[in-house]
Structure 1
Amino acid sequence: MKAMKRSTLATLINATLFSAVAGTSFSTLAAEQTPAAEKNNQLEVIQITARKRVENAQEVPVAVSALQGDSLDAYSSAGMDIRFMNAKIPSLSIESSFGRSFPRFYVRGLGNTDFDLNASQPVSLVVDEVVQENAILKGFPVFDVARVEVLRGPQGTLFGRNTPAGLVKFDTVKPGQEFDGYGSVSYGSLGAVDFEGAVGGSLTDRLSTRVSVLWQNKDDYIDNRAPGFEQKDVLGGYTDKAARIQFLYEGDDFTGLFNYHVRDMIGSPIAFRANVIEKGSNELVDNYEHDVIYQDAVSRAVQHVESQGASLKLEWDLANHTITSISAWESAEIFSRADIDGGYGGYKVDGQDAPMGPGFIPFSSESADGIPDHDQYTQELRLSSNFSGDVNYQVGVFYFDEALTIENYSFDTSANGKLNGYVLQQQDTKAWAVFGSVDYTISDDLKVTAGLRYSDDDKQFSANRTVSPIGGGALSLTEDLNDDHISWDISTSYKVNDDVNWYTRIANSFRAPSVQGRILFGNEVTVAKSETVTSYETGIKSDVLDGRGRVNATIFYFQMDDQQLTAVGGGANFNRLINADKTTGYGFELDTEWVLTDELNATFNLSYNKTELDDNDLAVAVCGQCTVTDPTFQVPGQFGPEDRAILDGNNLPHAPEWISNITLRYTKELADGDFFAYADVSYRSKIDFFLYESVEFEGKALLETGLRAGYNWSEGDYEYEVSGFVRNMFNEQQAIGAVDFNNNTGMVNEERYIGAEFKVKFF
């Protein structure tokens, strides 16, 4: 895209202006028609901490969506991992090639397909004000969570490095003086059992605690039918255990919060399925069965994740200021081994070609990746003013220190999984920053916010190969990366009337340099220099129909320079980092909520994101068996001539143009309790799995429907709930990811899931 089309830009502006006018008109009409005495059943005010202070979401000049209450409970319950948020929030999608670990986040089309264990992402995850940098930390289960916030657009001023696309923020339920808790258990398809619960209350007049636990289990259910390797129930199961304990001390002018959390998950990796995508199309093959695979190394497949962490938040309330200190430690370990080629054969036994299938298997690929050692330390110290006048500010310092060890393994499947390749990677990252922001009230209707952050990053990396599966021999390579950057933003918030706020925002952020050294099959360490982004957006936030409706709309445009991209696969099982000269994106987001009647609530969300690479010289290696639709040319390669696709004009991978979500919640008094039904429909449009475009690796549009219905009632100090639920109601099955270096191997979304749950809350 050389410039935005006039018609597209006009459409986006008109859509936002219509929403603003509609919001204002609805508010005025409701005020005229609804007497004050009839103002009931209004939408609740959503309080968020997107700017590190408690604020009304409708007054914050940031594109932010929040999940809490019934919606959060319905989405995250009954065995769901963090991918439950996929397509539930405008411009947000999540995927993973590791299953229940290593989620990859995309906001406004910006993300990272990199599957290496030191991959950096442009969407940051912050849990209880602590950044979770490594992707394995980001897979921590979601339970006993009060609120999820998704901040779209660069967040480099207050939250720092690696936030050019946005931020996902979790706040867990905190301890309190009042005794309360809950417990829930569910049973679902294929014998899946899920239990979670929490209990908390006071220990003394000033000290309170809360303990939260989670236990999820699903037995293996996928059968292996590869000839000579037949075995029932070898894949698909897991046992995921997690716990959190918190202590809160509340003094007169001081609070201290200690948080310790731990996770232990053992199960199987995601199911790789060889040639599951029909040649010349993006349809699954006719004989696809979700509970069947054909692999010759699945008996050795395993995934084990352990993580733990602790944080201490200290806060002093002074006369006109608040001092906050957050010290944290996080640690993660993983070992994941899988049959990556997804089939059987592709090698010789006693000099003869072994039988292969399903379809053509050029070569066998059995590999593993692990993190045997990881430690992340962070420290933030900030000072916030609490003036009653027109000016308030925040200033702070931040320090980040991470030591990461990665092991890459390759195995000879023809020799019963004998080790034939090993690489040890070591990465040490240190970063520090100083930041500040100022809020200035120009008038009762107009406020301005400006922020600035200086960041300095240093990364030392080494990769040491002792043995190579392709005879490359020992190799040792190192890289030393460093960069600094000044991020900034400026925003305005104008109160059109009591119910409508109009905001504008310009923001700049960056992602620190990245490095990859997965040299099992290659002889190079690749480096991507820092990427920078400048984003422009404007929108309205309105409460309409006398508080019974909410309409928020945003239009945006961004330009990213030197975007970090991952050239995955393309004839070899390793990643290459590259930089695109320029990437542009634009779109709009609509986030609405409605009280339709006293018994029926609804939400409707919609987003459009158009991304485009602008680099005439950018080209990457492509698959060997798929139908590439980009223009290509040949260059010499490690294994012979190699086709390369020209990427100029392509969309970004895993970047759907359209995301939409609709929910309906119906509640009806019945006997001594309430009957309820909660339905949701989420949609994301087609996506490209890789940087290049091909027929087979274009993921089809995905529409998934969920339904939850039940009954709740109270007895004394207890509230009870029984419910039944179904996810992916119409059993939509299609490829959601792929492996391109070998054959048309794909990963398929989860099939229909049905279950029942019992929950009790106590006070």
Structure 2
Amino acid sequence: MLQHPAQARPAPTALAVALALAAWPASQALAQEKTQLETVTITAERRVENIKDVPTAVSSISGEKLDVLASGGQDVRFLSGRVPSLNIESSFGRAYPRFYIRGYGNSDFRLNASQPVSVIYDDVVQENPILKGFPVFDLKAVEVIAGPQGTLFGRNTPAGVVKFDSVRPSQKQDGYVSLSYGRFGSFNAEAAANLPLTGDWSARVSGLVQRRDDWVKNTNSTGTRETEGYRDAAVRLQALYEPHKQFSALFNVHHRNLDGSPRLFRGGIIRPGSNDLVDGFDPKRISIDGTNSQDLKQSGASARLKWALDGFNVYSITGYETVKPFSRGDIDGASVYNAPAPFGAGFPVETSDALTGHRQLSQEVRLESTTPGPLRWQAGVYLFDEKYTIQATDYITPLVLSSYQTNRAWALFGSVNYELSERLKLRGGLRYTKDKKDLSTSSTDPARLRTEAGTSAHTDDAKWNWDSSLTYALNRDTNVYTRFATGFRASSIQPAAEFNPQSQARPEDVKSIEFGIKSDLWDRRARLSAAVFSYEVKNQQLTAVGGGNNANRLINAKKSKGSGAEFNLEVLPTDNLLLTLGASYNKTALKDGGLQVEACGSACTLRDPIIVPRNPAAFKFSDTVLIDGNPLPNAPKWTANLTARYSIPTAAGNEYYIYTDWAYRSKVNFFLYDSVEFTGKSLTEGGLRVGYIWDNGKYEVAGFARNITNKVVTTGAIDFNNLLGFINDPRTYGVQFKALF
């Protein structure tokens, strides 16, 4: 059982533990066993390498573990907490995930928000936050790369990168089908197959269909009658052309269609003076008087070309993405005229957000050396061009706001790897980025638009970033490393609206230092990676959300700091038992003595110093507080994850197995300010899977359950006037069948 931080005894750092384990005498290892862990290769630095040799904190999820965590039809948020220091949350449901690494992220919910965690799908950056929710299926691996990655990856990577790589086509005539059915009428079908082509071509088609019934009933006489269901479908078609070893071309076309419910806002579910749910709370009931609906269509294509020339390879990556989301909801999460206990009364707010005319183009050309010797290098150019229109609609007092934004950027980058000796290796990289944004806003009722800061803005930023690392091999199984890195996120603009003027945040910069160890132990029956780190963000871009005037504005903190430790451990104690364990400690804090925000439209219990109290008589409905020293929002101090798989082979060569997985995160602040009600409780969620595999692994049937303890807490909130929150999914369960062919 994890102890509360205040009760925990002082413990050695993760790095110290790692060094102790690495030095464990060989006589203590299980060397006599033949079974070993599989070698993990990653592309965290844009070339295939053993994970042990990459001098940065990288976690990889693939194979059965990825399948188990996705059981039951969860969206990409199922990855949250499954590797150290990763948190993912959303106030839009399946459509708009927000990523945080080492506590560093962005809670902004606007459709033009930028995030310091970059999501890259099949080598193409997914810049707009709506693009980041593309479903997870038929993947080779998911890599989470922590810390600034501002040299080799384009577009906003000061906190890190989450990288999704699809299974590539091959000439093998194989594939799979997976079907599951579970609670709330959830149905999931996933399939993939290499198509029977001949000659120099191979192709692979893969698809996913997920659906769930509406399981929450509206007790009010008006508004959407039932909600929380969805129908989510995605397809990917890849074609690979390889006429000879000197050239290959991989083409990718993909599409998603989501029809469902936005995140369900539940008014009045937080008990005043605490962060408990109110007495009598029922996840299956809601009382709203508005419409809840969500629709999203996303399409994209890419071409990845490779030429193998004398002494170097040339790569060209061309990407196109477009997305058209629409989300409408009863934002106050309550019925104004009929709100039976325990739901809060709220006030009439029903709005929608949409993107139209979205188009993202990206192009990268990269050169990579292939000449043998101590020196290796990469260099390239990156181009990015995006445009779209945001439409925000108020249905109660009719108003439509339209904001048009363009973003153009280019970058030059390069990196060098040099073997100083057989044991000591040096890496370094440099990148120059130029980024421009333009935004303009119009309104169907100009008199209601806050124009004191203007209705248009332009930004033009340029920045050099660099990183350097040293890796030293203690022996053939253990490497230690140190890494220094910087990162950059370009300026952001938020449009003028009815309740807040246009706002702008200056570019932010991060400096990071990391020390780590990676080791294969006990004749490769165990694998360990651990790191300690510290970073400082200058001019961090933050979003002040809510308060009595329902505002959403960008601000900069002079500084914020983060530090901590994390580790991953994978162990085969016996041939039939596989254990994985990960944990992280992250301490974050804002460092700006004069930074202040409006807080608590709900008259919550503040723990920050109040400098200007609320004054309803003067139309000031929230207190102004200082937030210096507060942790970053949605940044848990502690996380931990555990999986255990035990197999029971049969005499016929088949297998029964039991698989359990657990994820823990400590409490979080939902907003920049600190209050009792808007502090999310610590959360532990577990899963269980029991299955049978037969016919040489061709067939599998399993029963599964997610959130098996049925722990339900608020995982986010909206700062209106009625203590509104939203929750995690309650317990789900079902059965699954999978067949390989």
Tell me which interval the TM-score lies in, with the shorter structure as reference length: over 0.9
- In structure 1, the partner of 2:81 is 87
- In structure 2, the partner of 1:622 is 599
Describe the superposition over 1:142-169 as per-residue Cα deviations: whole angstroms up to 9, x where unpaired: 0001100000000000013311100000
| 1:474 Cα deviation from its structure 2 partner | 12
| 1:497 Cα deviation from its structure 2 partner | 0.7
Describe the superposition over 1:629-669 as per-residue Cα deviations: whole angstroms up to 9, x where unpaired: 10012279993364211011100110000010010001111
SS in 1 for 2:68: helix
Describe the superposition over 1:376-412 as per-residue Cα deviations: whole angstroms up to 9, x where unpaired: 0000000000121010100000000000111001111
Please list, as runs of the form range in 1=range in 2, the aligned pairs for 1:28-67 lying within 5 A after superposition.
28-29=26-27, 34=31, 38-67=32-61
SS in 1 for 2:581: strand
- In structure 1, the partner of 2:269 is 276
| 1:210 Cα deviation from its structure 2 partner | 0.2
| 1:520 Cα deviation from its structure 2 partner | 2.9
- In structure 2, the partner of 1:662 is 642
- In structure 2, the partner of 1:729 is 708
- Whether the 8 Å CA contact 1:422–1:520 is kept in 2: the answer is no
Distance in 2 (CA, whole Å) between partners of 1:15 and 1:125 is 27
- In structure 2, the partner of 1:563 is 540
SS in 1 for 2:698: strand
Distance in 1 (CA, whole Å) between partners of 2:11 and 2:423 is 25
SS in 1 for 2:23: helix
| 1:466 Cα deviation from its structure 2 partner | 1.8
- Whether the 8 Å CA contact 2:477–2:520 is kept in 1: the answer is yes
| 1:194 Cα deviation from its structure 2 partner | 0.5
- In structure 2, the partner of 1:431 is 409
Does the C-alpha gap of structure 1 residues 471 and 487 become closer, same or farther in structure 2, counting only changes over 3 Å?
closer
- In structure 1, the partner of 2:322 is 331
- In structure 2, the partner of 1:237 is 229
Does the C-alpha gap of structure 1 residues 469 and 748 become closer, same or farther in structure 2, counting only changes over 3 Å?
farther
- In structure 2, the partner of 1:479 is 457
Which letter maps to 1:342? G
Distance in 1 (CA, whole Å) between partners of 2:540 and 2:360 is 26
Does the C-alpha gap of structure 1 residues 435 and 175 become closer, same or farther in structure 2, counting only changes over 3 Å?
same
Describe the superposition over 1:568-596 as per-residue Cα deviations: whole angstroms up to 9, x where unpaired: 11123341000000101100001100001
Does the C-alpha gap of structure 1 residues 397 and 13 become closer, same or farther in structure 2, counting only changes over 3 Å?
farther
Which one of 576, 581, 589 corresponds to residue 599 of structure 1?
Answer: 576
Distance in 1 (CA, whole Å) between partners of 2:437 and 2:64 is 43
Distance in 1 (CA, whole Å) between partners of 2:622 and 2:180 is 51
- In structure 2, the partner of 1:349 is none
Distance in 1 (CA, whole Å) between partners of 2:215 and 2:447 is 32
- Whether the 8 Å CA contact 1:663–1:678 is kept in 2: the answer is yes
Distance in 1 (CA, whole Å) between partners of 2:33 and 2:473 is 22
What is the number of equivalent residue pairs in this alignment?
Answer: 728
Is residue 699 from structure 1 mapped to residue 680 from structure 2 by the alignment? yes
- In structure 2, the partner of 1:580 is 557
Distance in 1 (CA, whole Å) between partners of 2:107 and 2:167 is 32
Which letter maps to 1:48? I
Describe the superposition over 1:67-124 as per-residue Cα deviations: whole angstroms up to 9, x where unpaired: 0111111112331110010110000010000111100000000011101000100000
Which one of 95, 107, 111 corresponds to residue 113 of structure 1?
Answer: 107
| 1:713 Cα deviation from its structure 2 partner | 0.9
Distance in 2 (CA, whole Å) between partners of 1:52 and 1:254 is 18
| TM-score with structure 1 setting the length | 0.93
- In structure 1, the partner of 2:357 is 373
Distance in 2 (CA, whole Å) between partners of 1:422 and 1:507 is 43
SS in 2 for 1:155: coil
Describe the superposition over 1:488-530 as per-residue Cα deviations: whole angstroms up to 9, x where unpaired: 00001100011110010000011110011150323x1100000
* Structure 1: gaps spanning 5 or more residues: 1-9, 347-353, 413-418
Distance in 1 (CA, whole Å) between partners of 2:629 and 2:253 is 47
- Whether the 8 Å CA contact 2:216–2:227 is kept in 1: the answer is yes
- Whether the 8 Å CA contact 1:447–1:494 is kept in 2: the answer is yes
- Whether the 8 Å CA contact 1:468–1:521 is kept in 2: the answer is no
Which one of 714, 719, 736 corresponds to residue 695 of structure 2?
Answer: 714
Distance in 2 (CA, whole Å) between partners of 1:611 and 1:198 is 42
| 1:475 Cα deviation from its structure 2 partner | 11
Is residue 678 from structure 1 mapped to residue 656 from structure 2 by the alignment? no
- In structure 1, the partner of 2:145 is 151
Which letter maps to 1:254? F
Which letter maps to 1:384? E
- Whether the 8 Å CA contact 2:315–2:366 is kept in 1: the answer is yes
Distance in 1 (CA, whole Å) between partners of 2:339 and 2:210 is 38
Please list, as runs of the form range in 1=range in 2, the aligned pairs for 1:256-295 lying within 5 A after superposition.
256-295=249-288
- Whether the 8 Å CA contact 1:225–1:231 is kept in 2: the answer is no
Distance in 2 (CA, whole Å) between partners of 1:586 and 1:475 is 36
| 1:468 Cα deviation from its structure 2 partner | 7.2
Does the C-alpha gap of structure 1 residues 170 and 471 become closer, same or farther in structure 2, counting only changes over 3 Å?
closer
Which letter maps to 1:22? L
| 1:539 Cα deviation from its structure 2 partner | 0.6
Does the C-alpha gap of structure 1 residues 301 and 14 become closer, same or farther in structure 2, counting only changes over 3 Å?
closer
- In structure 2, the partner of 1:690 is 671
- Whether the 8 Å CA contact 2:333–2:346 is kept in 1: the answer is no
- Whether the 8 Å CA contact 1:268–1:303 is kept in 2: the answer is yes
Describe the superposition over 1:451-510 as per-residue Cα deviations: whole angstroms up to 9, x where unpaired: 000000000001112227968799971000110100100001100011110010000011
Distance in 2 (CA, whole Å) between partners of 1:245 and 1:67 is 23
* Structure 2: gaps spanning 5 or more residues: 1-8
- In structure 2, the partner of 1:3 is none
Which letter maps to 2:113? A
- Whether the 8 Å CA contact 1:682–1:705 is kept in 2: the answer is yes
Is residue 251 from structure 1 mapped to residue 243 from structure 2 by the alignment? yes
Which one of 56, 63, 69 corresponds to residue 63 of structure 2?
Answer: 69
Does the C-alpha gap of structure 1 residues 756 and 157 become closer, same or farther in structure 2, counting only changes over 3 Å?
same
Distance in 1 (CA, whole Å) between partners of 2:145 and 2:437 is 27
SS in 2 for 1:18: helix
Which letter maps to 2:552? N
| 1:320 Cα deviation from its structure 2 partner | 1.4
SS in 2 for 1:389: coil
Which letter maps to 2:75? D
| 1:372 Cα deviation from its structure 2 partner | 1.8
Is residue 632 from structure 1 mapped to residue 615 from structure 2 by the alignment? no
Is residue 19 from structure 1 mapped to residue 18 from structure 2 by the alignment? yes
Describe the superposition over 1:7-26 as per-residue Cα deviations: whole angstroms up to 9, x where unpaired: xxx97875413311321325
Describe the superposition over 1:581-626 as per-residue Cα deviations: whole angstroms up to 9, x where unpaired: 0101100001100001010000010100000001001000001321
| 1:533 Cα deviation from its structure 2 partner | 0.3
| 1:255 Cα deviation from its structure 2 partner | 0.4
Describe the superposition over 1:268-310 as per-residue Cα deviations: whole angstroms up to 9, x where unpaired: 111111110000000001111011001111xx21000110000
Is residue 648 from structure 1 mapped to residue 628 from structure 2 by the alignment? yes
- Whether the 8 Å CA contact 1:410–1:469 is kept in 2: the answer is no
Distance in 2 (CA, whole Å) between partners of 1:572 and 1:468 is 19
- Whether the 8 Å CA contact 2:451–2:496 is kept in 1: the answer is no
- Whether the 8 Å CA contact 1:653–1:689 is kept in 2: the answer is yes
- In structure 2, the partner of 1:403 is 387
| 1:743 Cα deviation from its structure 2 partner | 1.8
Distance in 2 (CA, whole Å) between partners of 1:309 and 1:393 is 31
- In structure 2, the partner of 1:313 is 304
| 1:362 Cα deviation from its structure 2 partner | 5.2
Which letter maps to 1:634? V
SS in 1 for 2:263: coil
Please, which moves more after superposition, 461-470 or 57-66? Answer: 461-470
- In structure 2, the partner of 1:552 is 529
Which letter maps to 1:301? N
Which letter maps to 1:751? P
Which letter maps to 1:714? D
Distance in 2 (CA, whole Å) between partners of 1:144 and 1:77 is 14
Which letter maps to 1:315? K
Distance in 2 (CA, whole Å) between partners of 1:14 and 1:173 is 37
Distance in 2 (CA, whole Å) between partners of 1:529 and 1:336 is 29
Considering only aligned residues, what root-mean-square deviation do their CA atoms show, in Å?
2.0
SS in 2 for 1:74: helix
Which letter maps to 2:726? M
